[in-house]
Structure 1
Amino acid sequence: MTEKSKVYFTDFRCPSWRENLPQKLARLIMTAGFGDMDLEGKYVAIKMHFGEPGNLAYLRPNWAKVVVDLVKDQGGKPYLTDCNTLYVGGRKNALEHIESAYLNGFNPYNTGCHILIADGLKGNDEVEVAVEGGEYVRSAKIGRAIMDADVFLSLTHFKGHEQTGMGGTMKNIGMGCGSRAGKMEMHSSGKPFVKQDRCVGCRACAKICAHGAPLFGGDGKAAIDESKCVGCARCLAICPKDAILSRNDEAPGILNRKIAEYTKAVVDGRPCFHISLVMDVSPNCDCHGENDVPLVPNVGMFASFDPVALDQACADAVMAQPALAGSVLFDPECACHEGDHFKRSHPDTDWQICLEHAEKLGLGRRAYELTEI
């Protein structure tokens, strides 16, 4: 019989004045075994998503403070962290990323600790990490401040995702911890390209490129020589007009497998613990500057040392919920895949591929034992 991983769960009910939701989350985390971790004097990275400005589904800083306080209680040195985005938005470099986090309430006064953008100012402060057993990624490009941590924690807003079907713990870790070059490796089977109507011919891309990939035509506008490009994504970060873009053309199945391999690179070889809140289950990622009606009612809070079992338990809990009236699940084009809320909202994706590949890599088990507190 396959051994099952332990996942702990509690709902959002607080019928008594004796305990509020932050206290209930703390009790869940400690019951799940967090108190047994050796954090004394250790740097502890807490990976989460600060939310794109305009999005109101992201996890509020109140939840982060619960985790920060527990780390401090055990003598650890916590910091909140994430990597810069590949797309153009409010978190494409460290300055704008931190400003966006502050706008959404993530400041030291609210959370009790500082923010470190893991891949640096322009998204190129990375560490190459070997992926044992990787089929698609041999060496993952991970933000340096994440790999410098002694202990790694993840705090995830569990939701849908337009490219992977489900945005859970492994999406938070695998995609979220990749540097800009790492994100491009996961999203793209090719190299970046130049959107000609945005290019002003400033040649900033040529100055930053160590391989001579940017070429310039008679009109002075840039193009990328793919035979020379190594996919480092530095030109994406330096372009003042956001004219250089990733193709984002990787098939969803391969993207999910790459995310699993990047997750393995992050968690291998050090103590890790994972928390996932199944609430405001929006159909799309918190990287959107907006959020739609949740797919299902709020479910509860989950915690585990096993990221695979945690994602499976959260997914099962979502599937057991009724579709929320007014959500995208009631749109005519979402009538297929009855019972699978994620595939109904994004029919071209299959969220289970990530879990299957992660289990194959030895990241964890899909079989779990759920303990409710």
Structure 2
Amino acid sequence: GTIVECNTAYAGTRNESSKHWETIKEHGFMEIAPVDLQDEEGEIEIPIEGGKRLTSDTVGSHFPNYDYYVVLSHFKGHVMGGFGGALKNISIGIASSHGKERIHSGQDEALPNAFDGDHDSFLEAMAEAATGVFNALHGNMLFINVMNNLSVDCDCDGNPHAPQMNDIGILASLDPVAVDQACVDQVYLSDDNNGPLIERMESRHAIHTVEHAVEMGLGNRNYRLIDLDA
């Protein structure tokens, strides 16, 4: 297998390929498997059918080089999206740097400051970009969400809040909507100081990403949870 990544849309150590490669090396990813910085040599458009915000998604030019993606996501809170899981990972995560700007802008033409876009439009654009990626791969994807170190903040935050909930477990599905919905439900069902993460999700209208993904035909919010430890 190959670990794939794209440059970020915000300043830091991952917004330019040269700096990004240094960060990848520092974190030891190249000792695990080959790494492909997918937008290092350019980007391509993949179509989105039936979207309200986007007609296409901008991804790295290396995206079509793989016919199956295993999407390993750390489920946690997020300062903008409310939570980050499978849907965020295959939308923002797989998008090129410019593609990330379009998603944050919530429209085809990126705003001068992409982070000034309408909030619900951003959430809907995430769902639409995720749908474009899933359809481009003909559903050849596996989604694994790891519910540990449950902070209200994302790993992309340089100074995230300390985790406030204990680890819950690992959830997997062929449906990105179902696995994210199941993780959200597990947070609500927990009696382990779940208030801060629930507040983060509700204050950001986070479930709307899931709702719009269903509207796009990406997946189903109804699921059956099978406990492999039982």
TM-score, normalised by the number of residues in structure 2: 0.90
Which ranges in structure 1 are unaligned for 5 or more consecutive residues? Answer: 1-77, 192-229, 234-244, 330-340
Give the superposition deviation at 1:100: 1.1
Matching residue of 2:204: 349
Picking from 144, 160, 165, the partner of 1:291 is 160
Letter in 1 for 2:97: R
Q: Is the 8 A contact 2:4 2:36 kept in 1?
A: yes
The alignment partner of 1:248 has SS state of helix
Which of 7, 10, 18 in structure 2 is aligned with 1:95? 18
Asked whether the equivalents of residues 275 and 304 of structure 1 are also in contact (C-alpha less than 8 Å), the reply is yes
Residue in 1 aligned with 2:39? 119
- Structure 2 CA distance, aligned partners of 1:182 and 1:83? 10
Q: CA RMSD in A?
A: 2.1
- Partner of 2:118 in structure 1? 251
Mapping for residues 143-162 of structure 1, pairs under 5 Å: 143-162=60-79
Return the index of the structure with the highest Cα Rg.
Answer: 1
Greater fraction helix: 2
Partner in structure 1 of residue 215 of structure 2: 360
Q: Percent identity?
A: 31
1:316 to 179, 182, 185: 185
Cα distance in 2 for partners of 1:158, 1:267 equals 19
Whole-Å separation in 2 of the counterparts to 1:313 and 1:175: 20
* Matched position secondary structure for 1:107: helix
> Structure 1 counterpart of 2:61, which letter?
R
Question: Residue 304 of structure 1 corresponds to which residue in structure 2?
Answer: 173
Instruction: Determine the C-alpha separation between the residues in 2 that align with 1:190 and 1:133.
Output: 14
Q: How much does 1:328 deviate?
A: 8.7
Partners of 1:164 and 1:349 within 8 A in 2: yes
**Per the alignment, do residues 186 and 288 of structure 1 end up closer, same or farther by CA in structure 2, a change over 3 Å counting?**
same
Q: Which amino acid aligns with 1:368?
A: Y
8 Å CA contact retained: 1:283, 1:328:
no
Name the CA shift for 1:328/1:107 in 2 (closer, same or farther; >3 Å). farther
Please say if residues 119 and 126 of structure 1, whose CA atoms lie closer than 8 Å, have aligned partners that are also in contact.
Answer: yes
Match in the other structure for 1:336: none
Q: Is the 8 A contact 1:81 1:117 kept in 2?
A: yes
Higher RCO, 1 or 2 (CA under 8 Å, sep at least 6)?
Answer: 1
- TM-fit CA distance, 1:146: 2.2
Say whether the 8 Å CA contact 1:147–1:266 is kept in structure 2: no
Which whole-Å deviations, capped at 9, do the CAs of 1:210-265 have from their partners, x for residues lacking one? xxxxxxxxxxxxxxxxxxxx64x9xxxxxxxxxxx734112221111100111111
Distance 1:270 1:147, change over 3 A: farther
Alignment partner, residue 58 of structure 2? 141
CA distance in 2, matches of 1:328, 1:99: 37
Q: Residue in 2 aligned with 1:264?
A: 131
Q: Equivalent residue for 2:3? A: 80
Contact conserved, 2:76 with 2:150, CA < 8 A, in 1?
yes
Residue 188 of structure 1 deviates from its aligned partner by: 2.0
Deviations 1:80-130, CA, capped at 9 Å, x for gaps: 01110010011011221121122222123xx1x211111116xxx111111
Instruction: Measure the CA separation in 2 of the matches of 1:270 and 1:159.
Output: 24
Question: Does structure 2 conserve the Cα–Cα contact (< 8 Å) formed by 1:186 and 1:250?
Answer: no
Letter in 2 for 1:120: E
Q: How does 1:1-373 map to 2 (within 5 A)?
A: 78-108=1-31, 111=32, 113-120=33-40, 125-188=42-105, 231=110, 246-268=113-135, 269-324=138-193, 329=196, 341-342=197-198, 344-345=199-200, 348-373=203-228
Amino acid at match of 1:311: D
> Aligned-pair distance for 1:187?
1.2
**Residue range with higher mean Cα deviation, 300-309 or 270-279:** 270-279
Name the CA shift for 1:133/1:295 in 2 (closer, same or farther; >3 Å): farther
Residue 132 of structure 1, CA deviation:
1.4
CA apart distance, 1:147:
2.9
Deviation at 1:176, TM superposition (A): 0.9
Unaligned runs of 5+ in 2: none
Deviations 1:265-288 (A, max 9, x none): 111124111111000112111111
TM-score, structure 1 normalization: 0.57
